[in-house]
Amino acid sequence: MTFDELWYLANEAEQRAEQARHRLASEYDEYLEFERTRRVSRPRFRTLAERIQANGTPYGAHTIVYRPSGELLLVRHETVDLWVLPGGGVRADESFREAAEREVAEEAGVEVSYDGLAMLTDVRVVADDATMRGVLPVFAGRAETTTPSVSDPDDEISAARWFAELPADTRDRDEILTWREQALSA
């Protein structure tokens, strides 16, 4: 793919991300906003551009699943070797929330009562001299069932556990802790 083709793809992707951001902002009232930059290889940039072009998000939709006690559910993602919030790709026939619900069921096997959008992160993706933006919606929900069981069809998730204290190797740890402090102390 030439630079011009990649630039065109990234430009279309960024427009889709802006549409997704606008749709989420008009649908949900209160959520935390964050910004993040991810530096990636040129091939990975293209992959993420194709994802963003499809639905506005490079990494899909996720859920902060909590218990009233403040414990949070994390899953062990073997590909990135980190504890992460359950979540993943958005299919063409799904809303962001529907994708988040499906991913929680697959990766952690718990039922969730959704509260709404918890966080909306603006993700800036950079590879050499190419750049674009996507969005990362994270929903919040209270666990209705509390015994996790992993049935991930992609075999990326090896464990699902509740944490009162988040492990040091938790992806986006600071943002998750900020949300927990604000949401569960109210």
Q: Where are the domains of the chain?
A: 3-184
Q: Other C-beta atoms within 10 Å of 46: how many?
A: 18
- Burial class for 15, CB neighbours closer than 10 Å (0-12, 13-18, 19+): middle
pLDDT at 186 over 70: no
| Per-residue exposure over 90-101, b if at least 16 CB sit within 10 Å of its own CB, e if not | beeebbbbebbb
Give the single-character DSSP code of 73. Answer: E
pLDDT tens per residue, range 127-166: 988 999 999 999 999 999 889 988 877 789 999 999 999 9
End-to-end CA gap in the chain? 50
pLDDT at 2 over 80: no
pLDDT tens per residue, range 29-55: 999 999 999 999 999 999 999 999 999
Superfamily the domain 3-184 falls into: Nucleoside Triphosphate Pyrophosphohydrolase (3.90.79.10)
What pLDDT does residue 56 have? 97
171 phi/psi in degrees, rounded to 5? -65, 135
Kind of pairing between the strands at 61-66 and 130-143: parallel
pLDDT at 1 over 70: no
What pLDDT does residue 185 have? 73
What pLDDT does residue 113 have? 96
| Cα distance between residue 143 and residue 161, in whole Å | 12
pLDDT at 3 over 70: no
**Residue at 58: amino acid letter:** P
pLDDT tens per residue, range 90-130: 999 999 999 999 999 999 999 999 999 999 999 999 998 89
**Residue at 50: amino acid letter:** E
pTM of the predicted structure, to 2 decimals: 0.94
What pLDDT does residue 80 have? 92
Mean pLDDT to the nearest integer, 160-180:
96
